[in-house]
Chain A
Amino acid sequence: MAQNQETKQNPSEPKPCLSGRGITKVFGIGNKATTAVDHVDFDFNEGEFVSIVGESGSGKTTLSKMLLGLISVTEGEVRFQGQPRDISTGAKRREYWKNIQPIFQDPFSSYNMFYKIDAVLDDCLNMRGYRNASKEERTRLKDEACGFVNLKYAELTNKYPFELSGGQMQRLMIARIFLLKPKILMADEPTSMIDACSRATILDMLLKLRDEVNMTVIFITHDIGLAYYISDKVYIMEHGKFVESGPAETVILNPKADYTKRLINDVPKIYEKWDLDTVARK
């Protein structure tokens, strides 16, 4: 997948899409206060594939939830397309959410298990303003979105989420993003619950999304190897702080922070062992 780095769209002047200054999140008060995210600064440019890498508990998901507007920001300012983000009322929040959408880690809990999967796609169409479109038009759009992620809408319609495999569910989540076409995609470890085969397909689809609609993809992962292959920019997060950031190659080939070095050292071992296991089983 390394060849994808060549497809990097390099406009002469990168336009910042989402940026943050001094973003902090503190849970609890007094003695029990825990700082999950500690004064982080970042600039995510339009059409960039950004990875945020860190181990469990480093504050990646908290940061993503703040950026999504699901939890409040304790301190600091989030800027969206150069303007301070305003999500104070329900209507403004809904407007903001047209621009930023997530893919969650666990596809099994991302669906309401009491509703057929058509409901998820229908919601997207309603959000995009196809509320009054004809049934044929809606079916065509849903079919197109499923085709984008190599699924057949005809086979999925009238099914419940639990009738799908994990990979199918996660691909359907991507189809949802394809329908919504937000400016920013917040992918919070979308491949960690998926087997290696499906993982490659899903990453490929994320890159395709970025290329086709110039989407900013914020990819959160604990796997620094994966981040190296697919991202333009990498942010390394440790205990709620960004310890290192920059273009993927610079950060990973010439790491400066000890934490980054440790992360890089940790990865290959796991991979070798994994490979050996697979061979032995065959």
Chain B
Amino acid sequence: MKNTIKQVFHSGKFLVGFFIFILILIICFVYPLVVTHDPLEMVGSGNFYKPGTYVSQQEAVLDPFYTLNIDASEGKLSLLLGEEEIEKMKEYLVKYAEVAESEIDTSDPEAMVELWQERYDPELKAKGLTSAKRKSYRRLDGEIKDAQKSADLIIAEKDSETGELEEVKKIKGTSFVNTKDILNKRTFLLGTDNFGRDVLTELVAATVVSLRIGLVAGIIATVIGLLLGLLAGYVGGLVDNIILFLTNLFTVIPSFIILILISYSVGTSARGVMMVAVIIGLTSWPWTTRAVRSQVISLRNRDHVNLSKLSGHSLARIIFTDILPYIASYVVMAMILQISSGILAEAQLSMIGLGPATTRTATLGLMMNWAMQYAAHLNGSWWAYFPVVIVIALISFSLNLMNTGLDQVFNPQLRD
């Protein structure tokens, strides 16, 4: 036993898979200790905030500021002027302001803005310049002016009696605030989702739930598959025929369809996280049964089994002491695969809206489902679904890698 474990940890593939999996587990355990917010707390009141650090605007304004000799308008122009805007400016200058195309250098935004300010006439009426177009040019002009603005902003308070505005504070273009002075700030490394929940915190919580679903589903599937496989393989005859018939039935009907039908018929109210795990477990045992059965058939005529039989041992004792230990390594490998496919099955089910019908817990599949329903993939909010995809892929990759590593250790024919 000790030797086998040592051998297992010499397999590079197993080690890599094990390392990734343990890393995920550690993150799942440690992260909630560090970040104690409720993973499903709705922090934002809008959809899909970009990843980044968010500071309280009020505090930023009210906090004492420092004057730094840095022009705050720096970089703003190039951030504002995308390819589209440059193209729009060029079009106006050429068509309506009679600038030769050779004079325009699209690679220098500052020069273009200068030219624009010189030649742009908001009142110009030319052929082909519809009012819609004119308005859009006016908007562009406003944006450019905003970006260039380095004039002071004034903070004013409304006098409660007279209703007049009273200047409180002036904010210059060179005013800066030390972020340490701002108490209320939150970093969303992966932004927020459609409900305004912190994706990273939610993702960690969802991974824990999904791993639990996979584990429960994997254990159920392995136990059922193992028991039926042992019985069918060892007893043989009619028992074998009946079990094989059942197994074939479940193999021929795609288990995913059974999964969908059961999930649907259980109803929304009963479909909790564990219910989904049990449903997945109950539909994914057939291949374990088949694999265990065939292994047992090759074992049942071994001499040591015959000897055990002739020593008068009971059926259960022979199965559990003379056969099960010989296929134990195989069963462990099968269970690892079952856990991995359980997690994937949950994700698939949830994607089409038949996963756990709950708003109190998140699973990896549910996060994908929410992201899809709120069109995260269409509005470019990659942070709402891409990290989930990566976590799912990493989990199943690490489990499969561990399985391959174990396979190489236990099956000497595969060793290189």
State the A residues within 8 Å of B (CB). Answer: 68, 70, 94, 97-98, 101-102, 104-106, 109-115, 120, 123-124, 127
Contact for B303 among A110, A120, A123, A127, CB less than 8 A: A110
Complex: A110 Cα to B306 Cα, angstroms? 8
Shortest CB-to-CB span from B7 to chain A, Å, is 15
Contact for B307 among A98, A104, A113, CB less than 8 A: A104
Q: Known: A104-B303, A106-B303. Is A112-B321 also a contact (CB below 8 A)?
A: yes
Complex: A80 Cα to B313 Cα, angstroms? 22
The interface residues of chain A lying within 8 Å CB-to-CB of B69 are none
Complex: A94 Cα to B304 Cα, angstroms? 17
State whether the Cβ of B310 lies closer than 8 Å to any Cβ in chain A.
Answer: yes
Q: Do residues B303 and A109 form an inter-chain contact, with CB atoms below 8 A?
A: yes
The interface residues of chain B lying within 8 Å CB-to-CB of A114 are 321, 325-326
Complex: A105 Cα to B306 Cα, angstroms? 12
Q: Known: A104-B306, A110-B303, A110-B307. Is A127-B321 also a contact (CB below 8 A)?
A: no
Residue of B nearest to A97 (CB): B310
Residue of A nearest to B325 (CB): A114
Please list the 6 inter-chain residue pairs (A to B) with the smallest Cβ-Cβ separation, ordered nearest first: A114-B325, A104-B303, A94-B312, A110-B303, A123-B311, A109-B303
The interface residues of chain B lying within 8 Å CB-to-CB of A106 are 303
Complex: A199 Cα to B155 Cα, angstroms? 106
Q: Do residues A111 and B304 form an inter-chain contact, with CB atoms below 8 A?
A: yes
Interface string of B308-322 (1 = CB under 8 A from A): 111111000000011
Q: Do residues B307 and A102 form an inter-chain contact, with CB atoms below 8 A?
A: yes
Complex: A68 Cα to B306 Cα, angstroms? 10
A-B contact count (CB 8 A): 44
Q: A113-B304, A114-B321, A123-B311 provided; 15 other pairs, C-beta below 8 A?
A: A68-B306, A70-B306, A70-B309, A97-B309, A98-B312, A102-B306, A104-B306, A109-B304, A110-B307, A112-B321, A112-B325, A114-B326, A123-B313, A124-B311, A127-B311
The interface residues of chain A lying within 8 Å CB-to-CB of B326 are 114
Q: Do residues A112 and B308 form an inter-chain contact, with CB atoms below 8 A?
A: yes
State whether the Cβ of B185 lies closer than 8 Å to any Cβ in chain A.
Answer: no
Shortest CB-to-CB span from A75 to chain B, Å, is 19
Contact for A101 among B310, B313, B325, CB less than 8 A: B310
Complex: A109 Cα to B322 Cα, angstroms? 12
The interface residues of chain A lying within 8 Å CB-to-CB of B302 are 109
Shortest CB-to-CB span from B302 to chain A, Å, is 6
Shortest CB-to-CB span from B362 to chain A, Å, is 43
Q: Do residues B309 and A110 form an inter-chain contact, with CB atoms below 8 A?
A: no
Q: Do residues A110 and B304 form an inter-chain contact, with CB atoms below 8 A?
A: yes
State the B residues within 8 Å of A (CB). Answer: 302-304, 306-313, 321-322, 325-326
Interface centre among B310, B313, B322, B326 (most CB of A within 10 A): B310
Q: Do residues A112 and B304 form an inter-chain contact, with CB atoms below 8 A?
A: yes
Q: Known: A112-B322, A112-B325, A115-B321. Is A102-B304 also a contact (CB below 8 A)?
A: no
The interface residues of chain B lying within 8 Å CB-to-CB of A115 are 321
The interface residues of chain B lying within 8 Å CB-to-CB of A70 are 306, 309-310
Q: Do residues A97 and B312 form an inter-chain contact, with CB atoms below 8 A?
A: yes
Q: Do residues A127 and B312 form an inter-chain contact, with CB atoms below 8 A?
A: yes
Shortest CB-to-CB span from A177 to chain B, Å, is 11
Q: Do residues B310 and A102 form an inter-chain contact, with CB atoms below 8 A?
A: yes
Residue of A nearest to B1 (CB): A114
The interface residues of chain A lying within 8 Å CB-to-CB of B309 are 70, 97
Shortest CB-to-CB span from A270 to chain B, Å, is 26
Complex: A68 Cα to B303 Cα, angstroms? 13
Complex: A79 Cα to B18 Cα, angstroms? 60
Complex: A80 Cα to B395 Cα, angstroms? 62
Complex: A109 Cα to B326 Cα, angstroms? 12
Complex: A112 Cα to B311 Cα, angstroms? 13
Interface centre among B304, B313, B322, B326 (most CB of A within 10 A): B304
Residue of A nearest to B314 (CB): A90
Shortest CB-to-CB span from B238 to chain A, Å, is 14
Complex: A113 Cα to B322 Cα, angstroms? 9
The interface residues of chain B lying within 8 Å CB-to-CB of A123 are 311, 313
Complex: A104 Cα to B321 Cα, angstroms? 20
The interface residues of chain A lying within 8 Å CB-to-CB of B313 are 123
Residue of B nearest to A71 (CB): B301
Shortest CB-to-CB span from B319 to chain A, Å, is 12
Interface centre among B307, B309, B313, B321 (most CB of A within 10 A): B307
Shortest CB-to-CB span from A78 to chain B, Å, is 16
The interface residues of chain A lying within 8 Å CB-to-CB of B303 are 104-106, 109-110
Residue of B nearest to A173 (CB): B307
Complex: A120 Cα to B303 Cα, angstroms? 13
Complex: A248 Cα to B308 Cα, angstroms? 34
Complex: A124 Cα to B313 Cα, angstroms? 11
